[in-house]
């Protein structure tokens, strides 16, 4: 399937400063990767990601913006199969707890594929580092700006992975305290993502939750206004 690009007319003149704008082909590639990125949970079994590719992806994540340049992230690569199974057990427990909380949609939810922890080539746990309260700049009224910063790093990783032909799934179904304990995280550190990464059989052209009939994305026009809410 070919993913639809984010609307972009490559023949239009660059809207910004032509001195600083990227070339037409480069701009097209940026919009293409944004449009073609997907959250993926189905992976090619027994595949690997070459170390130099992994290094590029982590560098892309680490190049992300962060409030006050605090770089509040930590990436834990999980290579121990027993630990991977332990993480899968936590995710599965939360999957069932989520189904219970969903009540009348429980059975429908349990049919969704919401993680690829056991089959992805590489597994990472991404966490907020400890000691974040020392960072006041940009966080005084909004401490959750540290989570926003980690999210920027993860989006960088997601886009770079897509450009490298690799799928990524952000799994947030877990008890953070239990995952922190499993990985021996210090007090104050907080896991925010279990990342499944690796070669995938297909990049669907629409979100999996749409294809599975769970929900559908709404158009941009519903999210933009001028001057007033
Ligand atoms: C913070 C965050 C957490 C997510 N957690 C999960 C998850 O636990 N399981 C899952 O299947 N998808 C998860 N997703 C993926 C979303 O469902 C997905 O991004 C959305 O449906 C849009 O699809 P797309 O990313 O393919 O465009 C998460 C995405 C984000 C940004």
Average pLDDT (9-30) is: 83
The reply to whether 23 and 130 lie within a common domain is no
Structure confidence by residue, pLDDT tens digits, 33-67? 999 999 999 999 999 999 999 999 999 999 999 99
* Residue 137 counted as domain residue: yes
**Which residue's alpha carbon is nearest to atom 20 within ligand 1?**
207
Question: If you measure from the C-alpha of residue 107 to the centroid of ligand 1, how many angstroms do you get, rounded to a whole number?
Answer: 19
* Residue 229 counted as domain residue: no
Residue 118's contacts (CB-CB under 8 Å, 6 or more residues apart) are: 84, 85, 88
The reply to whether 103 and 210 lie within a common domain is yes
Confidence band for 12, pLDDT divided at 50, 70 and 90: low
* Residue 228 counted as domain residue: no
Triad 32, 36, 41: Cα angle to 5°: 160
**Residue 172 CA, closest ligand 1 atom number:** 8
Question: If you measure from the C-alpha of residue 39 to the centroid of ligand 1, how many angstroms do you get, rounded to a whole number?
Answer: 6
Question: If you measure from the C-alpha of residue 128 to the centroid of ligand 1, how many angstroms do you get, rounded to a whole number?
Answer: 19
Is any ligand 1 atom within 6 A of the Cβ of residue 132? Answer: no
* Residue 109 counted as domain residue: yes
Instruction: Measure the CA–CA gap between 229 and 224, rounded to whole angstroms.
Output: 9
Structure confidence by residue, pLDDT tens digits, 139-155? 999 999 999 999 999 99
Q: Is 174 exposed, middle or buried (0-12, 13-18, 19+ CB in 10 A)?
A: buried
The reply to whether 114 and 5 lie within a common domain is no
The reply to whether 143 and 186 lie within a common domain is yes
The reply to whether 76 and 123 lie within a common domain is yes
The reply to whether 56 and 155 lie within a common domain is yes
What pLDDT shows up at residue 138? 94
Question: If you measure from the C-alpha of residue 15 to the centroid of ligand 1, how many angstroms do you get, rounded to a whole number?
Answer: 31
* Residue 145 counted as domain residue: yes
Is any ligand 1 atom within 6 A of the Cβ of residue 126? Answer: no
Is any ligand 1 atom within 6 A of the Cβ of residue 162? Answer: no
Structure confidence by residue, pLDDT tens digits, 114-145? 999 999 999 999 999 999 999 999 999 999 99
**Which residue's alpha carbon is nearest to atom 14 within ligand 1?**
170
Is any ligand 1 atom within 6 A of the Cβ of residue 171? Answer: yes
Per the structure, how many domains does the chain have?
A: 2
* Residue 117 counted as domain residue: yes
Determine the structural domain holding residue 121 and report its residue range: 39-223
The reply to whether 105 and 128 lie within a common domain is yes
Average pLDDT (79-100) is: 98
Classify the C-alpha dihedral 198-200-205-210 as positive or negative.
negative
The reply to whether 170 and 127 lie within a common domain is yes
Question: If you measure from the C-alpha of residue 170 to the centroid of ligand 1, how many angstroms do you get, rounded to a whole number?
Answer: 6
Helix (H) or strand (E) holding 210: helix 208-211
Rounded mean pLDDT of the chain? 95
What tokens does 26 get?
């480069």
The reply to whether 104 and 199 lie within a common domain is yes
The reply to whether 53 and 120 lie within a common domain is yes
Is any ligand 1 atom within 6 A of the Cβ of residue 172? Answer: yes
**Which residue's alpha carbon is nearest to atom 15 within ligand 1?**
39
Output the furthest CA–CA distance in the chain (Å, rounded).
Answer: 56
Instruction: Measure the CA–CA gap between 161 and 149, rounded to whole angstroms.
Output: 19
The reply to whether 24 and 128 lie within a common domain is no
Instruction: Measure the CA–CA gap between 83 and 168, rounded to whole angstroms.
Output: 19
Q: Give yes or no for a contact between 124 and 79, defined as CB atoms under 8 angstroms apart.
A: no
pLDDT at 7 over 70: no
State pTM to two decimals: 0.94
Is any ligand 1 atom within 6 A of the Cβ of residue 43? Answer: no
Percent of the chain with pLDDT over 70: 93
* Residue 72 counted as domain residue: yes
The residue among 20, 48, 42 whose CA lies nearest residue 114 is 42
What tokens does 21 get?
């704008």
* Residue 49 counted as domain residue: yes
What pLDDT shows up at residue 13? 61
The reply to whether 179 and 213 lie within a common domain is yes
Question: If you measure from the C-alpha of residue 209 to the centroid of ligand 1, how many angstroms do you get, rounded to a whole number?
Answer: 9
Name beta bridge partners: 189: none
In angstroms, what is the C-alpha Rg of the chain? 19
Classify the C-alpha dihedral 62-66-69-72 as positive or negative.
negative
What pLDDT shows up at residue 8? 64
Question: If you measure from the C-alpha of residue 115 to the centroid of ligand 1, how many angstroms do you get, rounded to a whole number?
Answer: 10
Structure confidence by residue, pLDDT tens digits, 157-208? 999 999 999 999 999 999 999 999 999 999 999 999 999 999 999 999 999 9
């Amino acid at each position: 399937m070919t993913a639809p690009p984010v609307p972009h007319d490559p023949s239009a003149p660059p809207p910004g400063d032509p001195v600083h704008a990227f070339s037409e082909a480069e701009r097209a590639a940026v919009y293409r990767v944004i449009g073609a990125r997907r959250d993926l949970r189905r992976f090619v079994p027994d595949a690997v990601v070459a170390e130099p590719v992994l290094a590029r992806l982590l560098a892309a994540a680490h190049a992300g913006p962060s409030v006050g340049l605090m770089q509040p992230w930590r990436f834990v690569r999980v290579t121990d199969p027993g630990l991977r199974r332990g993480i899968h057990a936590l995710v599965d427990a939360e999957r069932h707890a989520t189904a219970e909380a969903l009540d009348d949609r429980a059975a429908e939810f349990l049919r969704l594929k919401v993680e690829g922890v056991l089959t992805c080539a590489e597994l990472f746990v991404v966490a907020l580092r400890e000691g974040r309260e020392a960072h006041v700049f940009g966080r005084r009224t909004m401490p959750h700006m540290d989570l926003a910063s980690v999210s920027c790093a993860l989006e960088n990783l997601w886009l770079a992975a897509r450009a490298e032909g690799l799928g990524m799934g952000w799994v947030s179904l877990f008890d953070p305290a239990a995952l922190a304990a499993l990985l021996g995280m210090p007090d104050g550190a907080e896991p925010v993502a279990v990342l499944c990464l690796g070669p995938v059989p297909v990049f669907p052209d629409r979100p999996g939750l749409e294809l599975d009939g769970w929900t559908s994305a709404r158009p941009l026009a519903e999210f933009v206004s001028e001057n007033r809410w």
